Amino acid sequence: MPNSFNFSVSPFDCLTPDEQALVRNSVDIAYFPEGAVLLDRGVAPTHLFVIIKGHVEQTEGEQLLASYGPEDCFDGRALVAGRASSRFVVVEELVAYQLSRDIINELIARNRAFGALLFADLGHKLGTLAQLADQHERQSLTLMRVDQAFVRPAHVVDASTDIVSVTRLLHEQRITSVLVSGLPQGLGIFSNTTLQRAILDGRALTELTVGEFASSPVISVRASEQLGDAMALLLRARVHRLAVLDEAGQVCGILDALDLFSFLANHSHLILVQIEQAGDLQALEQPAAQINELLSALHRGGTRVALMAQLVQQLNTRLFERAWQMLAPSDLVANSCLFVMGSEGRGEQLLKTDQDNGLLLRDGYVPPADLAAICDAFSAVLQRFGYPECPGRIMLNNPEWRGTASEFAQRCQGWLLMPSADSLMRLAIFLDARAVAGDAELLAGVRQKLQALATDNDALIARFAAVIDSFGESGRWWSRLLGRDDEFSRVHLKKAGIFPLVHGVRSLALARHVDATGTVERIEALVADGTLDAALGREMREALHLLMGLRLQAGLKELQRHRPVTAEVDPATLSSLERDLLKDALAVVRRFRALLQQRLRLDVL
């Protein structure tokens, strides 16, 4: 049988040499003309098909569920279930490999990963891949350079400095050690632990010099060396800190063992430390700049998208809060609520996107006369931190996005009761609002009034949900994935999948009075109250995370090439497994759209 069978594509790329030999010895090649029905609903399948040439469409009634092209395989699920749940029709004459059900069952019995990737739903496929990724995440981090970790500034004092002065420096700079110069044996180090020995010495601390207690020589590491080597050096030398040397051999910082191990375990914590310790806006710029670097490192290490989004949300929240506290007087902070919206509000932002924020003021509170200038400064600071201005000016520096709680409640009422394309967009964005500074109860009060307006008003909810069709039917995405649409070679992940999924869930959440702002939390609430089927809810969650991950992957590549970050992906750059998972995710979105259209009767609007 043919030696050209491609074992580099999913799910065959996880087979052992013996299992590959079994496939080679068992596979057949078959030809089917255009229009041939390969499988029909309720029919027991006998083979798994792997396409060599041609295209096949999977339908259920009038609904197109998926399309398959060269190197795609189908239908593993039907083989396991014993019957097909859909119809598979040849739309372009087909040449395909055939593997019998018995051979597939044997491969599944031998290889769990093959079975999971072949016939499992999207969630199980991604779970299998996540387990493989977890195995190399820590190894990937140890291969990073020392200067990519959190290297603390080096503070140097002369050996003749008294202990009290050094202690005062440790306290003022919030540091745990200083380097000591002027020692006969070279550079030394004095730390909080060494301070205990000085106190126990018995002499007056003002009479003791730091040189008497400093440890030397200091163990050093080059900034360009790998973190794994630095960790080994710390353990081998039995020290808690390393001096970091630049290319010229000069000390440029201190690598603390606790910082290193924190970095390897969860290096977002170190960015948060820098945010907390920042004394001014300029000091906030460095941790703000590191967030994309963090994402790149976590992505290379295979970290789950849900966890990355959670970490970014925590960092952005604290960054925005600290910047606002530095710019706004304390009475304004206490009598207002700074909130973020869109993907940032939902906790689904990864790479920095447009600013979406606003400000609620307490009713009756008289804001500072320079409120507009303060808001302008905040928007400018975020832009300096790498968060672009919103093209639609949904930002704090726009008077339409700041006002009293009563004013905002009236605006929301207008958006809902007098819907237009613009007002529905504003309403959708505001529904994702999340407080980041000030009094969160102000935002909660506006949200409650908005929920009350939507009570039992199916027509309002339907008009709101109909926005999922803003970008048209997604039928052409399949052609783009399969390379059959030359006019549109790139897939816009937001338009094709993320937006209809997010907004559809948002619409159901509004109808069911779900308070959560995150899409996953909304899905869980809708499953809990019976609005969504548990299996569909699980696949929707996994589809969202897959689409977010592919968007992040494409965005990181665009940043490396110094190009603007978009939500587009070129199918030609995806692996066969990624294309397979993307098709699965878009199929989930299609099923959800069909459910939403039926549930809310969007077809009659």
Residue 239: predicted pLDDT: 82
Answer yes or no: are the C-beta atoms of 361 and 405 closer than 8 Å. yes
Residue 139: predicted pLDDT: 47
For residue 209, what is the DSSP state? B
Q: Report the C-alpha gap between 307 and 9 in whole angstroms.
A: 28
Which SS3 state, helix, strand or coil, does residue 404 take? strand
Strongest mean pLDDT among 3-7, 129-133, 451-455: 3-7
Pairing of strands 251-256, 241-245: antiparallel
Residue 90: predicted pLDDT: 94
* Angle in degrees, CA 297, 492, 600, rounded to 5: 115
pLDDT tens for each residue of 350-391: 988 888 999 999 999 999 999 999 999 999 999 999 999 988
Output the CA–CA distances (angstroms, integers) from residue 188 to 1, 156, 159, 164, 395, in the order listed.
71, 9, 9, 18, 51
| pLDDT at position 126 over 70 | no
| pLDDT at position 64 over 80 | no
Place of tokens 């976590």: 298
Residue 500: predicted pLDDT: 93
Domains and CATH numbers, the chain: 12-119 (2.60.120.10), 146-265 (3.10.580.10), 269-455 (3.30.460.10), 459-604 (1.20.120)
- Of 108, 124, 80, the closest CA to residue 19 belongs to 108
pLDDT tens for each residue of 258-298: 777 666 655 566 787 788 888 899 999 989 988 888 888 77
Q: Report the C-alpha gap between 602 and 605 in whole angstroms.
A: 5
Answer yes or no: are the C-beta atoms of 288 and 385 closer than 8 Å. yes
Residue 133: predicted pLDDT: 46
Answer yes or no: are the C-beta atoms of 415 and 425 closer than 8 Å. no
Output the six-digit token pair for 131: 């387990």
Residue 570: predicted pLDDT: 84
What are the respective helix, strand and coil percentages of the chain, to the nearest 5? 55, 15, 30
Output the CA–CA distances (angstroms, integers) from residue 446 to 281, 361, 411, 451, in the order listed.
31, 11, 10, 9
Answer yes or no: are the C-beta atoms of 543 and 493 closer than 8 Å. no
Place of tokens 């309403």: 427
pLDDT tens for each residue of 399-431: 999 999 999 999 988 888 787 878 888 888 999
- Of 288, 447, 309, 471, the closest CA to residue 381 belongs to 288
